[in-house]
Amino acid sequence: MIPENVGIRGIEVYYPRLAVRQDQLEKSDAASTGKYTIGLGQNQMAFFADQEDVVSIALTVTQKLIESYQISKESIGFLAVGTETLIDKSKSVKSELMRLFDENHDIEGVDVKNACYGGTQAVFHAIDWVTANWATEGRFSIAVLADIAVYEEGPARCTGGAGAVAVLIGPNAPIVFEKGLRGIYMDATWDFYKPIGGGKPSEYPVVNGQNSLKIYMKALDECYTAYKRKAKRLKGEEISLQSFDAAMFHSPFTKMVQKAIGRLHYWDVLNGFTQGNDELKKLMPITDLDEREVVSSLQKSSFKEFNSLTSPFLEMNRNCGNMYTPSLFVQLVTWLAKCASMSSSQSPARILMYAYGSGCASAMFSVLVNNSENAELLLMKKICAEALERLNNRTVLTPERYREVMKMREELLHSTESYTPKALSQPDLQPFPGAFILTSISKSYQRFYARIPLEQQNGHN
């Protein structure tokens, strides 16, 4: 029997305890006032010191998921990790997560990689595994999305960030992925990549910023077209932004998301689903949607849609920065957190989601959220509300201290001897209680981890 209503039955998020204010970075970088805050739409940027890496944050968020939802470790049959933050060219991050499942070694799945898109593909794999295997396995799947976004000194450094999301996938879920409604766009591009070779190892990508932004929008157009075509074929439905209660997008910075809403608004106006403002109507028909005047006009014309469908759910993105693979799904976390105070409704909420990764890979899909008094959904809302509140309990450091931490990460990466993370002994750099940390790297480059106790650590809660 094919399982019904496969989707999310649990969700957890983990982000750094450390952050730097973008307005202070503007001053420290001698950037124009508002360049990072107004121009990019960012408030703060989260970052990890050298005692946390992609494995440790994946361990942390997966353990939090298991504990928060009291998941039986024997009930998991599939686990995939989506990440572009690689610390080994062969050994998967997923292999390290197996230490969390005791004697259950019968768990399929490995890592999935394609820039910021890999996490969404890991979720798709988790959904498809449950759909294909539930009748014979009767077990759930987990997808982990984890990344650390750091850039070399220069104009792109302010677009960093970090975080991790883990989702439990199973049938009869409160958050259901609409079957068949995946609009996909894939292409071979060189807008953002992390080459091997060329001297010292580096966490920093090679970025063609303007080209990357254009490819993001091209992929958005194509995914929207494909999604609408499939909705028409499968459901006889004409799709527009008005078809959804929320719209979420991959967010390298939140001003990019506002531009994305403007882009979809344009196609809706062109196809007669909504009215544009007078300024936009004067520009139509438009031959170049990337032209500065057009982009500005689209943002103004779509201001209502952005404020109602998207902006309220960008709080983690504004205050953590570009998380790469988790950046889309933390908007779902924020939506759940903010809906915790809303009255329940028997009518499911419908959310449009757009995932993008340079290189490029992208997808548009949608989920239905059963907003009735469902125990699983109520638990998710509670956990997500706590995660959102935790933004207020972070350690905000100066730009100068942030740069010192980035130097620590470089020293770890360039070390040719055994290495003990420097942040372990520095009180202002301690993670949240309950986090896993990197304790050492051996001469043979093996990494060792331990968990910080859940109780108060080093004077921090």
d(CA 189, CA 357) in angstroms, rounded, equals 11
Contact 168, 65 (CB under 8 A): yes
250 classed as catalytic: yes
Does 64 appear as a known binding residue? Answer: no
Smallest Cα–Cα separation from 249: which of 362, 171, 159, 345? 362
Burial 192-231 (b: 16+ CB within 10 A, else e): beeeeeeeeebbbbebeeeebeebbbbbbebbbebbbebb
E strands within 316-401? 349-357, 361-369, 395-397
The residue from 12, 26, 52, 116 that is catalytic is 116
178 classed as catalytic: no
Does 212 appear as a known binding residue? Answer: yes
The residue from 26, 52, 84, 203 that is catalytic is 84
Does 235 appear as a known binding residue? Answer: no
Q: One-letter amino acid identity for 271?
A: N
The residue from 250, 265, 320, 376 that is catalytic is 250
- Within 8 A by CB and 6+ apart from 112, the residues are 80, 81, 82, 83, 118, 119, 121, 122, 125
The crossing angle, in degrees rounded to 10, of helices 254-270 and 209-235 is 50
Contact 245, 351 (CB under 8 A): yes
116 classed as catalytic: yes
Write the DSSP string, 104-158.
----B--EE-BTBTHHHHHHHHHHHHHHHHHHHH--EEEEEEEEEE---SSTTGG
Residues with a catalytic annotation lie at 84, 116, 250
For the annotated binding site for CoA, the residues are 212, 255, 259
For the annotated binding site, the residues are 212, 255, 259
